[in-house]
Amino acid sequence: MPRYLSLVQIDERNAPAEGPSPELMRRMGELIEEMTKAGVLLDTAGLTPSAQGTRVRYEGGQISVTDGPFTETKEVVGGYALVQAKDMAEAIEWTKRFLKVHEAHWTVTCEVREVAEG
């Protein structure tokens, strides 16, 4: 079965400073448990804020290193989920369910892409 990577993008400027609510974490835990039992979820994790990240860029034969925060960035990858699904449609349905556990004040975008095998 193909694997799909869902890159969870958030707008750090609009995300709650205190992070996810306990209720959101409860709903997220329930969904993660369901996905794990269904054999769909292979791995998932949130990421630290971009202010704690570092970008390493290769351009024109040169490498540059820039510490966060990255003020020019609106949305950042805030986490990921690696799922195994029968097709893209199923991967998207699981992603929709993930998005729906969030409260209305969150702005979250997931980019779902199939993992290239071999």
pTM of structure? 0.86
Q: Does pLDDT of 70 surpass 90?
A: no
User: Whose CA is closest to 18, among 105, 117, 82?
Assistant: 105
What's the pLDDT score for residue 112?
97
What's the pLDDT score for residue 11?
82
Alpha-carbon span 7 to 82, nearest angstrom: 9
What's the pLDDT score for residue 117?
85
Tokens representing residue 68 in the block: 């966060």
User: What structural domains and CATH numbers belong to the chain?
Assistant: 3-114 (3.30.70.1060)
Mean pLDDT on 58-63: 94
**pLDDT tens for each residue of 41-59:** 999 999 888 888 998 999 9
8-state DSSP, 64: E
CB 92, CB 5: distance < 8 Å: no
What's the pLDDT score for residue 37?
97
